[in-house]
Chain A
């Protein structure tokens, strides 16, 4: 009995020591957010994304492995604006971790307070599809919007770990500056090779913020309604409109139905390209700056194949 008591005491002592020395545990839903969180938290935190960058964030199961990770987190950052509404509340609740649940000090929604696009002003109901009344939640492809989201994150970080708040503030300023420089570089490159206001058609409005950041123009989505695949009639209508209005390309995320995108592309006689939406490990876009450069290069190559990006 004494042996068991000693072992338990030793394990408790070790866990207390580890807790004192441990880095902050930050969870994010998407990989884009985890890149951002790691930039600001630096070596003071271990940042882990729940998703890997391959998934469609709308359609995720509340996997028990997420719950297990959330139970140990000091901070959990989500995109918000309804993007993770179908699964994240269940993860938060089942984690039994009060700190990362709504109104907990580690609860962090980066989309709060940013200037959203496509905000719906009329009354929303489900006949309008999977519409987000708060606005388009795919803001993370715009460096400008990410900078604004950053400030939400710094606030939460400083609340959870006030002793390092000066460090986080300095990291925030550095990240902000790097993101601005990145935006300026890509903007310059895109404006040199693509006309301002170049129209691009999206399958789902996941790239709208990217276009907004770089002076390009979203020609709308191919979907019948948000989250609803287009009918044959809609495909023809969208494609013919794209052709008539001088749309230059049709783009989609890897999980979008490629047959539909190719059909639109064929009718409209415009090139199509599949582009990543999130940072993904072990790819050429394994960081946010690389993702931005990859998107810009791919767009240039698709629209102006004769031009070297």
Chain B
């Protein structure tokens, strides 16, 4: 039953190179074909019953106010205390969709006039999809110094010059009570 097994010389060769090559190719393919989802957050402020949380800048300088009203045919921008850009202007929709590029460019001009202001008040005259609201928030929030031009501000505390990288990130959604009750009537 117990046979003596003759020990043969090592003739076993595991060639791993092609296997590893296959794995490398497979991994590259997986990395390139996989879609990764990154979730980020957009701030939304509600002026409801929170008067103490009014933006700091607004309390310091009540002469500046920037309003955005979404209407059926366009977006109305109303600026107070923005120098030559003060007043009301309308950005008409293009093919029924908001012209976010023109809106963004207009806000960049206002930002250059008042770089230390961060608050924008939003209201809607009609009901709209949530996606349009997010697109508006995106257009009013982000500032690309390379594309939009550099906006520099001096920090009053230490005198350092800083490069602004946000537009109007404090997005206050107004008209909750009236619009929620009957969005068709608006304000």
Do A and B originate from a single complex? Answer: no
Enumerate chain B interface residues (CB-CB to A < 8 A). Answer: none
